[in-house]
Amino acid sequence: MRANESPVRTSVFRGTIRRRHDLPFPGDILVSCGDQIEAGAPWAVCNPVGRVSIRDITRVSRVPPARVLEETNQPQNQEIPAGTVIAAGAGVGTLFGAGDWVAPWNGKLAHVSTISGLGFFQQSIGSTALFARLSGTVVEVADRSHIVIEGSATSIRCAYGAGGTSFGRVVNVADGAGLEFRADDEDGMCVVVVADTVSMEWIDALPPEHIAAVVAPSMSLDKFPQIRKHARNGESRDAQPRIPTVLTEGVCSARMPPALQWIFRKYEGRMVSVVAASTPGEAEVILIGGDIAASDKRPAAMRIAAGPDMGEQVYRGESEALYRRNSAGVLGRLVDLYREEGGRTQVIADNLERLA
Amino acid sequence: MTRSLMDASYPAGSRVAPKILLAAEVGSNVRLAAFGGVEGSSRLLAVGESETTHSAPYFDPAVGFDQARSALRSQVRFIADIEDTDPCAVTGGGIGRAATVALISNLDADSHARIVNLVNVQGFDIVAEFHAPNKKLARQFDPEDLANRLLLIRASVVAVALQNDRGWESLAMAVDILKYALVGRIPGYSPGVMLLHSDDPEPGLVATLADEFEFFQVGMRAGLDAQSEQSLVRSQIAEAYQSVTGRDAARFTPAGLDATTVTPLGQSLGIVAREMAANNGISVVVLHAEPLGALVAISEGRDFRVGSFGYDADAAAVGHIGLRLPMEEIVGWIPAAISESMAEAHFRNRAWRPWLVPETSTELLLDHAAAHLALRRAVRSIADPSPPVDLIVCTGRTLSGAPRLIQAALCGINAYMPPGYCQLAVDSPGVLAMCGALTATGTPISAEPYLVHVATSLSCEGTAKFGADALAVQVIPRHGEPISRSVAFGAMERITWDGSVVAEVKSWPGGKLDAGGGKGRATALRSGITSGIGGLIIDARGRPLQWPKEGSLRRAALLQWFQSTDSYVLPSQDLDWGGVEG
């Protein structure tokens, strides 16, 4: 049975892209619709809240709710150092009295309710600036919620990400294994792009004061659990390396496909955003600016994304895709492919990704 | 006349342009199904599928929907042009978390139960109840502890139902906790707030809620059981539900589908289960498995119960059910040579690319093992032990897309562990959820025409010694010789016969075992059955499932189950344990 032209999932997208930037905590948006913004520039300041101590002041001071404001010794919404008495307890000592309400951390008295009699003391952890991941125009601003930036860029979808978002200039490293990398101070933060499979030890050995992020193809089966069980992760089940890290291929020992290496080499020294998000599907590398054309006159490169050949670069053969079963028995559009390193193979279209 | 026929979007030979209904399912892929109304009933015309594009590198769900529509359009172009037709129903496990509710209430026990029922019936999943019957909230709950528990649960909606709240003390406590102890503490978390009240609450507090949160006010009055009041409350909660699910779904569906009804997957499957059960007077279980999660809907005709596993239920960034299950348990179901770390690598890669299909038999086994173990947990969350059921329907990407339908049926048996006799069917085109979503919009679409009868299972409850005689079974085709089998305890067996012939089935379980008629009592099916693809699957593994603990015996048992049911074929190199750790 002959199949129609098989659509293949896209892993690299060039052109005008939009990225929504959400306010994770209450805060202020600093840009307006129509503003131009550069990647790495702040677009909002947010105010995360730390721990919150809640006390029933009517019990502490033994007064009715209407009088709790009089019983608090501190003004609201002003910084109070840890150890300061917020409300004095009634009675003598703590045996018969409720004890004083003492600020457990540096923070502020956010609210005292004259209805319920409750007081809310919030730990201060400072304001945090949020930076744009994309250079372009602000096309949407939703108050207290998000903005949308539209700009010209190349987005490369990554399989895995952890460590957060960062920005820097691309430095391609030819050989990842046993590398001694020294960043140049004058060039600012670098995004290290490695073509070979990496280990957690290698990432840990990089100087975090110079390295903004690591872009690598894969982490081998025996190295990946080291990330998962890394001491810094604590109780978290997901990896949190010291430097934001993305893997383009996944947990395997695949090298970076030549088509991706070519793109990163073209971007040597230029600014990129690395979104090392752990939510599946959200990790990406954004290459700012849209002036990189497709690689050359060769046919469009694809990668095999599953099975024993995972990570291998292939090109479409002349034969049309046919509905057939693969070795697992799955019926699908089996695409005839040339391997980058020679030979031919057939893979179901669902397991292919376009790289250019 | 000729001109008008040529202008029409259907071929000249056709006399009736069918009304086309589109439904969408968003999971690891986007699927659009077209149903055409012909002579009063709607039938499936075609399904178009594409990649989901709400994630990198697009972050634009419209691209995937357009591609799916384009794929569908090419298939139905001779019937109608669907270029400008939007789906009227959207469902799927990928359109956001289930709408969960944390309920804070000081209502009396009866009113509280009624509210729980009303909120549940509208589709919300109540994940926590903070109930202080007829008391001030502060007397029952420490406010700091309440705030921390709410943060841990991270429900989509915090519902506050209060009565006899003198001086608004309880309402003020709830409002202040929400505003000063929840907002800003976890990235991106700000719940919707539903206030259910019987009096006119203090305007200042209501204004605070309206300013700070997505706010829904549900007016209850004295005499909640009055028909009109119930109806009003129901509609207000339903509006809140649509708003919450629509908000979550907005990230995964294209802008401009405002008129499209979003129905959570559990509700869609529950509706289908209920309709099938009611129409046929049977009990139905729908099992839905996909990389993101597993879902089960059970119905006996009047209502339905839904249980789920996965779907980022605790907001953790894990995208595959395999990563939520103990790896040791999954690997225990694989007779092939594979270590736990290899299995974990497989599921991690699948979490990042959930749309991939298995390339090897071992990958297929891993996906199916994770699916049935996840489904088993979903079943246990609502029915433990599994009650007898007449029909199990397998659906979802993992089961509908199984290379052999018998594999989906075996997953169904392992997941639900049905006692006695049970029919197994597979939703081969994978449209069950979309049928339910369309039915939820008021356009009933029967899902039965899309089910493929795969097999009938006969299972025995109880335990016996491994290898002892467990079940004697006789299949008597109406045209042909009777087929008899004796099955040892711990084994599976399969009997097939001519697919066009109806057969009677009789069974004689061993003394301690129960095949649906009581311990050691012979049973016979009242009506005849057809073979289907899988025939009669005899499951003599006991309930609860018994199998050897020692590794090699366990693998031998698995191979016996797979080979006797003709479900999986493993190449000999996959069974070579040389060089595999642990």
Q: What single string gives the DSSP state of each residue in B305-348? A: EEEEEETTTT--S---GGGGS-HHHHHTT--SS--HHHHHHHHH
Omega within 30 of 0 (cis) for the link into B509:
no
pLDDT in the model for residue B242: 81
The token duo for B12 is 């000249």
Q: CA B463, CA B479: separation in Å to the nearest integer?
A: 35
Q: CA B273, CA A317: separation in Å to the nearest integer?
A: 45
Interface of B with A in 479-538 (CB under 8 A): none
Clarify whether residues A196 and A82 are in a common domain: no
Would you say residue A341 lies in a domain? yes
Clarify whether residues B288 and B423 are in a common domain: yes
Would you say residue A138 lies in a domain? no
The CA-based dihedral angle spanning residues B539, B545, B546, B551, taken in that order and rounded to the nearest 10 degrees: 100
The shortest C-alpha distance from A47 to chain B (Å) reads 7
A159 contacts on B by Cβ (under 8 Å): 349, 352-353
Contact A238 B181 (CB under 8 A): no
B320 contacts on A by Cβ (under 8 Å): 280
The enclosing domain of B450 has a CATH number of 3.30.420
Interface of B with A in 7-66 (CB under 8 A): 50-51, 54-60
Would you say residue A101 lies in a domain? yes
The shortest C-alpha distance from A206 to chain B (Å) reads 25
- Exposure string over B558-571, b if 16+ CB within 10 A, otherwise e: bebbbeebbbbebe
The shortest C-alpha distance from B310 to chain A (Å) reads 14
How far the first Cα of chain A sits from its last, in Å, is 29
Interface of B with A in 266-295 (CB under 8 A): none
Q: Which residue type sits at B260? A: T
Q: Which residue of A has its CA nearest to B64?
A: A9
Q: CA B512, CA A142: separation in Å to the nearest integer?
A: 67
Is pLDDT above 90 for A92?
no
Give the pLDDT confidence of B66-103 residue by residue, as tens digits: 999 999 998 988 888 888 888 889 898 877 666 889 99
Range of the domain at B152: 100-249
Of chain A, the percentage scoring pLDDT greater than 90 comes to 50
Contact A307 B363 (CB under 8 A): yes
Contact B169 A116 (CB under 8 A): yes
Concatenate the DSSP letters of all residues of A38-82 into one string: -TTSEEEEE--EEEEEEEEHHHHHT--GGGHHHHB-S-BTSEE-T
Instruction: Tell me the residue ranges of DSSP E strands in B67-207.
Output: 89-91, 100-105, 125-131, 157-162, 192-197
pLDDT in the model for residue B11: 42
Contact A18 B59 (CB under 8 A): yes
Would you say residue A229 lies in a domain? yes
The shortest C-alpha distance from A184 to chain B (Å) reads 31
Give the pLDDT confidence of A105-135 residue by residue, as tens digits: 999 999 999 999 999 999 988 889 999 999 9
Count of CB atoms situated within 10 Å of the CB of A329: 15
Q: Count CB pairs under 8 A between chains A and B.
A: 192
Range of the domain at A319: 301-354
Name, of B14-28, B249-263, B325-339, the range with top average pLDDT: B325-339
pLDDT in the model for residue A98: 62
A25 contacts on B by Cβ (under 8 Å): 184, 187
Domain count, chain B: 3
The CA-based dihedral angle spanning residues A145, B354, A236, A195, taken in that order and rounded to the nearest 10 degrees: -100
Of chain B, the percentage scoring pLDDT greater than 90 comes to 56
Q: Residues near B443 by Cβ (< 8 Å), separated by ≥ 6?
A: B21, B42, B88, B89
pLDDT in the model for residue B10: 39
The candidate with the shortest Cα–Cα distance to B316, out of A25, A225, A280, A274, is A280
CA A108 to chain CA centroid, nearest Å? 31
pLDDT in the model for residue B419: 93
Work out the pLDDT band at A183, boundaries 50, 70, 90.
low
The candidate with the shortest Cα–Cα distance to B128, out of B146, B110, B111, B109, is B146
Would you say residue A9 lies in a domain? no
Q: Which residue of B has its CA nearest to A324?
A: B403
Q: Which residue of B has its CA nearest to A159?
A: B352
B360 contacts on A by Cβ (under 8 Å): 307-308, 327-328
Q: Which residue type sits at B417? A: M
Q: Which of B427, B456, B485 is the last residue of a domain?
A: B456
Q: Mean pLDDT across the stretch B90-117?
A: 87
The shortest CB-CB distance from B59 to any of A19, A279, A325 is to A19
Clarify whether residues A289 and A190 are in a common domain: yes
Q: CA B567, CA B458: separation in Å to the nearest integer?
A: 17
pLDDT in the model for residue B315: 45
Would you say residue B426 lies in a domain? yes
B187 contacts on A by Cβ (under 8 Å): 24-25, 48
Contact A225 B172 (CB under 8 A): no
Give the pLDDT confidence of A74-88 residue by residue, as tens digits: 888 899 999 998 888
B181 contacts on A by Cβ (under 8 Å): 52, 54, 120
Is pLDDT above 50 for A40?
yes
Clarify whether residues A169 and A268 are in a common domain: yes
The shortest CB-CB distance from A307 to any of B318, B348, B360 is to B360
Q: Residues near B374 by Cβ (< 8 Å), separated by ≥ 6?
A: B289, B293, B294, B309, B310, B321, B324, B325
Answer with the residue of higher pLDDT: B356 or A5.
B356
Clarify whether residues B415 and B442 are in a common domain: yes
Only one residue has tokens 């339905």, namely: B304
Q: Mean pLDDT across the stretch B445-464?
A: 94
Q: Which residues does residue B102 pair with via DSSP β-bridges, in sequence order?
A: B128, B158
Contact B345 A251 (CB under 8 A): yes
Answer with the residue of higher pLDDT: B580 or B483.
B483
Contact A250 B349 (CB under 8 A): yes
Give the pLDDT confidence of B118-141 residue by residue, as tens digits: 888 787 888 899 999 988 898 899
Q: In what order do the strands lie in the sheet with B451-459?
A: B304-310, B293-299, B284-290, B391-395, B420-427, B451-459, B535-539, B492-495
Q: Which of B58, B91, B124 is the last residue of a domain?
A: B91
Is pLDDT above 90 for A199?
no
The token duo for A301 is 């490169």
Contact B60 A18 (CB under 8 A): yes
Domain count, chain A: 3
Contact A332 B357 (CB under 8 A): yes
Q: Which residue type sits at B212? A: E
Q: Which of A240, A265, A293 is the last residue of a domain?
A: A293
Count of CB atoms situated within 10 Å of the CB of A294: 14
The shortest C-alpha distance from B556 to chain A (Å) reads 21
Clarify whether residues A162 and A77 are in a common domain: no
Question: For residue B193, what is the DSSP state?
Answer: E
**How are beta strands A36-37 and A136-142 bridged, if at all?**
antiparallel
The shortest CB-CB distance from B359 to any of A252, A284, A306 is to A306
Clarify whether residues B162 and B86 are in a common domain: no
Q: Residues near B370 by Cβ (< 8 Å), separated by ≥ 6?
A: B320, B321, B322, B325, B330, B347
The enclosing domain of B237 has a CATH number of 3.40.50.360
The candidate with the shortest Cα–Cα distance to B67, out of B53, B43, B81, B50, is B50
Would you say residue B290 lies in a domain? yes
Clarify whether residues A286 and A347 are in a common domain: no
Least confident interval from A8-12, B80-84, B410-414, B516-520: B80-84
Interface of B with A in 178-197 (CB under 8 A): 179-181, 183-185, 187-188
B168 contacts on A by Cβ (under 8 Å): 115
Clarify whether residues B444 and B317 are in a common domain: yes
**How are beta strands A27-29 and A42-46 bridged, if at all?**
antiparallel
pLDDT in the model for residue B4: 33
Clarify whether residues A233 and A179 are in a common domain: yes
Clarify whether residues B285 and B431 are in a common domain: yes
Clarify whether residues A235 and A174 are in a common domain: yes
pLDDT in the model for residue A235: 45
